[in-house]
Amino acid sequence: MNDKNTPVATSGGVNKFLSKVAATPVRKSSTDQGKLIFAMDATASREPTWDRACHLQSEMFNATDSLGGLSIQLCYYRGFAEFKAHAWCDSRDSLLAQMSDVRCRGGYTQIHRVLTHGLSQPNIQAIVFVGDAIEENPDALCQLAGKLGLINVPLFMFQEGTHPQVQSVFRQMARLSGGAYAPFDLNSANELRQLLSAVAIYAAGGQQALQDFSQSAGTTVKQITRQMKE
């Protein structure tokens, strides 16, 4: 299942995603710093948009400094059974440097390794996944997503492309884990930046931090904050 055509995110879709983020219970670690796994499909189909995506993704740090900071672990798969989990980093420059070193290579998807890795990591608040295809058993992926839900680690699934079967499975995985789904739309950079910032702020400070963020954010986030108070 794959599709290289990128959809244009609607304001309604962004609103629903942010609303889901705001309603997700945060599970803080024993330290003040939020911990987030950022996992990416680095197979050949994503090569045309990789560099632009890296810059947007690295901006997740920008809004979290006042919340005790954010620690991100970059994970990716590519090629023949290659899966890499980097050391945890706590700065935008470090994450961007890690991403810049990655080159996409042809191969099958390995989403199950992302989920299995997440299950093995203690004290994480969420997993973000960006991909455009699924070449694995959807039932097995959904079972792993459900296990993450049982330990309160939500999946925030970002789909690059419009393939309906990929969207269906990504949505199911997000629901089973207690997370949310959204298109990964590089043509709507400002909205995508808000989505990524919302997840980062949620991981670093929880729902209250997201509400505080909305005071200086765009209209989309303000609308979600009002919905939370209704």
Listed as ranges, residues in the chain with pLDDT below 50 are: 2-10, 29-30, 220-221, 223-230
Beta-carbon contacts of 151 under 8 Å, excluding residues fewer than 6 positions away, are 119
74 forms bridges with which residues in the sheet?
38
Cα 96-98-103 angle, rounded to 5 deg: 105
Q: What is the pLDDT of residue 92?
A: 74
Asked if residues 169 and 33 have their Cβ atoms less than 8 Å apart, the reply is no
pLDDT of residue 83: 97
- Residue 170 has what pLDDT? 95
Q: What is the pLDDT of residue 116?
A: 98
pLDDT for 91 equals 76
Helix, strand and coil content of the chain, in percent to the nearest 5, comes to 50, 15, 30
d(CA 183, CA 132) in angstroms, rounded, equals: 10
Superfamily of domain 11-229: von Willebrand factor, type A domain (3.40.50.410)
Give the chain's length: 230
Pairing mode of beta strands 126-131, 70-78: unpaired
Question: Residue 117 is which amino acid?
Answer: H
Q: Residue 10 has which token pair? A: 């609607």
Rounded CA-CA distance 35/80 in Å is: 29
pTM given for the model: 0.79
Looking from the CA of 88 toward its CB, the CA atoms found within 13 Å total 14
Distance between CA atoms of residues 53 and 49, nearest Å: 6
Read off the tokens for 4.
């290289």
DSSP state letter for 76: E
